């Protein structure tokens, strides 16, 4: 079973990937809202990854 830190890291990676896809789709279609949504999702993914790093360092 995955630890909380590993789960956060994986969720972060998934969010970053989904965000990149949304950003690319927005860029291709000219949809600035979708592009911004993708960038925000990428940032959320980065934060989840960092949260996982912190948990890992403190043994949670």
- Residue spans of the domains in the chain: they are 4-57
Inter-CA distances, 32 with 10, 27, 38, 59, Å: 27, 7, 10, 41
29-46 pLDDT, tens digit per residue, is 999 999 999 999 999 999
- Is the pTM higher than 0.75? The answer reads yes
C-alpha closest to that of 9 among 59, 46, 60: 46
At residue 59 the predicted structure's pLDDT band, cuts being 50, 70 and 90, is confident
C-alpha closest to that of 12 among 42, 33, 36: 42
pLDDT at site 37: 98
């Amino acid at each position: 079973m995955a630890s909380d830190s590993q789960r956060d890291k994986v969720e972060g990676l998934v969010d970053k990937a989904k965000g990149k896809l949304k950003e690319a789709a927005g860029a291709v279609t000219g949809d600035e809202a979708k592009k911004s949504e993708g960038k925000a999702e990428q940032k959320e993914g980065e934060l989840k990854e960092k949260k996982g790093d912190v948990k890992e360092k403190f043994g949670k």
